Amino acid sequence: MAQATLKDRGRKGKGGTMHRRNMLKGMAAVIALQSDLLSQLAANAAATSAFSRVRPGDAAWPSAASWAKLNEAVGGNLIAAPSPFGACATDAGSAPCVDALANIRNPFYLGDQPGGTQVSGWLDAWTPAPSAYAVKARSSGDVAAAVNFARDNNLRLVVKGAGHSYQGTSNAPDSLLIWTRAMDKVTLHDSFAPQGCEGKIAPGPAVSAEAGAVWIDLYHAVTSEAGRYVQGGGCTDVGVAGLIQSGGFGSFSKGFGSAAAGLLEAEIVTADGAVRIANACTNPDLFWAIKGGGGGSWGVVTRVTLRTHDLPAFLGGAWGTIKAQSDDAFRRLIARFLAFYAESLFNPHWGEQIGLGSDNILKLSMVCQGLDTPQASAVWQPFFDWVKASPEDFDLSASHGAGALPARHFWDVAGSHFMIADSRAGVPAFHGWWRGDQDQVGMFLHGYESLWLPASLLREAERQRFADALFAASRIKKVDLHFNKGLAGAPDEAIAAARDTATNPAMTEAFALAIIADGEGPRYPGLARPALDVATARKHARAIDLAALELRRVAPDAGSYVSESNYFVASWQDAFWGSNYPRLRAVKAKYDPGGLFFVRHGVGSEGWSDDGFTRG
């Protein structure tokens, strides 16, 4: 054959020329046909993608009869979702306004309102806006009915549990809200095995929670009552399902890993209205995406089951403030603390944070697990002694120290100096929030930034450069280092489990998440407030960017935590998910090809308008 081909190629004359001409004509025809086909496919794609979801007043908006059918399908749980402070705009003395104002700093109250959001907005980004209607879901069947209705009627769909979202992803005007707060049942399991995994995954202790449960519900059931531990969020009012989908870091993640890594199984309603089980053996691709791929992108998670752990005997912390008397002294204080952290705190026992301010104050707000009071105090004594040895340079607050208490009482609200009780009538007696989280409730954000800081910065050769960057950033804005939101220093098994989630792999190599943020008190629509000082607020936002730039000089490739990040972040796909993003896009295309579940800067949101109404 090879010889014949060579011989044919060597032919000359009229016949060969005609053959080539005919071949070229045929190729041209094929190319023209392919071009026409590609043009038609492109036109079809454009026609498919260039559309807008319907709004009230549009001709295609569902009729009153259609809404009535949905209400019947969800057991009469189709409700209005007014702004919690809307009544204040018309009558500040009305009972609804008085009640709302009395609870404006109560995160549980805000979460109990269908139109409530814990954050009251973000400069130049988003403002709380109520949905047209809400389905107060009480079962996965209610959720499925709402999903089908939204898909069939081309509605903007939004999902909310507790409404604890800095990015405003749990609210959207002119939308249908699926509100899962009423689904708050918590169930303990002595021995749980994921469905379909029998013989593959050994059963073990676990806890199941419906989508409306918040973390204090689990801590009360698992720790206070059952004497075990479940890895969850630090803020007690954060929704369980939302935190898991965002990755999920809590006070003790350095010891037990992320909440997403502890997920054993989820029940989720996908865009086709199907109620699916997702675990390592059933729909494993969807299961992986749920574990850190971002809330609101995959469907409506209606139930999660998490592994529980042996409870350490003690949980505790360290606290205090140190005021440096000069910039030079503050530089030395930062450098000494970093060395102390690397030597004594960079391990599974210690988490939470420190703050570094432009006032040259280092604030300690640390927690620990597995250490009693003498052990915790012994860890910190050398550092406190170093500070006390230079009274001319440092002022150590009278209230400082380290200690612990029996772990089962860590989340006790009654009698606690560290927690604020939800004092409303009829609410669970164990509902309360940390005093340190109070400023977040109702905050209007001017700006926010977060960066994962690699553990390589703790090496002795890098520490001074890192200390200089922290000092430079603190001249511009206060910098908080959240040590529990980076898993470097955690046990090997916790890191391995975290790597099997969709969260940016950079978090397993980071020792901390740096957070730089600023804002002011509540600015909910309807409140009587002085006009926003836009110029000053934008000045704060710019300062946050500049402070973050100082840290990027030593961590140029730092990723960011999707739940606590800059609303305006560029290259968000890489920042939030790194090398996991292409795999996440494939899962999104499989389970939600039409983009019913939209979250700004969520997986698959490319090509959509910021409000999620227009594609193309």
State pLDDT tens for residues 350-408: 999 999 999 999 999 999 999 999 999 999 999 999 999 999 999 999 999 999 999 99
* Lowest-confidence pick of 12-26, 59-73, 322-336: 12-26
Which 8-state DSSP code applies to residue 450? E
pLDDT band at 469 (very low <50, low <70, confident <90, very high): very high
Where in the chain do CATH 3.30.465.10 domains reside?
A: 186-310
CATH 3.30.465.10 fits 186-310, yes or no: yes
Helices 373-388 and 327-340, axial angle in degrees (round to 10): 150
The model carries a pTM of 0.91
pLDDT band at 281 (very low <50, low <70, confident <90, very high): very high
User: Distance of CA 315 to CAs 39, 145, 325, 403, Å?
Assistant: 65, 44, 33, 9
3-state secondary structure of 462: helix
CB 247 within 8 A of CB 562: yes
| Host H or E run for residue 515 | strand 510-520
Q: How far does Cα 332 stand from its chain's mean position?
A: 35
* Tokens, residue 36: 């026409």
Residue 38, pLDDT above cutoff 60: no
Q: What is the per-residue pLDDT for 442?
A: 97
* Tokens, residue 469: 């960057």
Dist. CA 87–CA 524, nearest whole Å: 12
pLDDT digits (tens, 9 = 90+) for 86-144: 999 999 999 999 999 999 999 999 999 999 999 999 999 999 999 999 999 999 999 99
CB 502 within 8 A of CB 584: yes
CA-angle at 249, arms to 243 and 255, nearest 5°:
140
Helix and strand totals (H; E) in the chain: 18, 24
Dist. CA 538–CA 519, nearest whole Å: 10
User: Distance of CA 428 to CAs 217, 246, 418, 424, 431, Å?
Assistant: 9, 27, 18, 9, 6
- The residue-averaged pLDDT of 244-254 equals 97
Q: What is the per-residue pLDDT for 51?
A: 82
CA-angle at 236, arms to 233 and 241, nearest 5°:
55
Where in the chain do CATH 3.40.462.20 domains reside?
A: 314-406+439-573
Dist. CA 430–CA 66, nearest whole Å: 41
Q: Which of 378, 369, 427, 432 is nearest to 402 (CA)?
A: 378
CATH class belonging to 64-182+591-615: alpha beta
Dist. CA 552–CA 406, nearest whole Å: 40
- Residue 445 pairs in a beta bridge with 122, 519
Q: What is the per-residue pLDDT for 616?
A: 81
Q: Following DSSP, what letter does each residue of 170-214 receive, concatenated?
A: T--TT-EEEE-TT---EEEEEEE--TT-TTTS--EEEEEEETT-B
Average pLDDT value for the chain: 92
* Tokens, residue 126: 């988003």
Q: What is the per-residue pLDDT for 331?
A: 98
Dist. CA 75–CA 62, nearest whole Å: 19
Q: What is the per-residue pLDDT for 8?
A: 35
pLDDT band at 50 (very low <50, low <70, confident <90, very high): confident
Q: What is the per-residue pLDDT for 22?
A: 41
CB 77 within 8 A of CB 137: yes
3-state secondary structure of 292: coil
The stretches of 353-502 forming alpha helices (DSSP H) are 373-388, 460-476, 492-499
Q: Which has more confidence, 615 or 12?
A: 615
Where in the chain do CATH 3.30.43.10 domains reside?
A: 64-182+591-615
Q: What is the per-residue pLDDT for 12?
A: 34
Q: What is the per-residue pLDDT for 43?
A: 42
Dist. CA 116–CA 107, nearest whole Å: 9
Dist. CA 280–CA 284, nearest whole Å: 5
CB 348 within 8 A of CB 491: yes
* Tokens, residue 335: 């450098």
pLDDT digits (tens, 9 = 90+) for 139-191: 999 999 999 999 999 999 999 999 999 999 999 999 999 999 999 999 999 99
Tell me the percentage of the chain whose pLDDT exceeds 90: 91
3-state secondary structure 385-404: HHHHCCCCCEEECCCCEEEE
Q: In what order do the strands lie in the sheet with 157-160?
A: 78-79, 133-136, 176-179, 157-160
* Tokens, residue 424: 């409303």
User: Distance of CA 488 to CAs 20, 316, 463, 513, Å?
Assistant: 66, 21, 16, 11
Q: What is the per-residue pLDDT for 612?
A: 97
Beta strand pairing call for 350-356 and 309-310: unpaired
Look at the domain 314-406+439-573 and name its fold.
Answer: Vanillyl-alcohol Oxidase; Chain A, domain 3 (3.40.462)
Q: What is the per-residue pLDDT for 4?
A: 35
* Tokens, residue 478: 């206060």
CB 565 within 8 A of CB 512: no
Dihedral pair phi/psi, residue 599, rounded to 5°: -135, 130
* Tokens, residue 593: 């090809």
- Residue 133 pairs in a beta bridge with 176
pLDDT digits (tens, 9 = 90+) for 297-326: 999 999 999 999 999 999 999 999 999 999
Dist. CA 157–CA 175, nearest whole Å: 6
Q: What is the per-residue pLDDT for 581?
A: 98
Residue 26, pLDDT above cutoff 60: no
3-state secondary structure of 263: strand
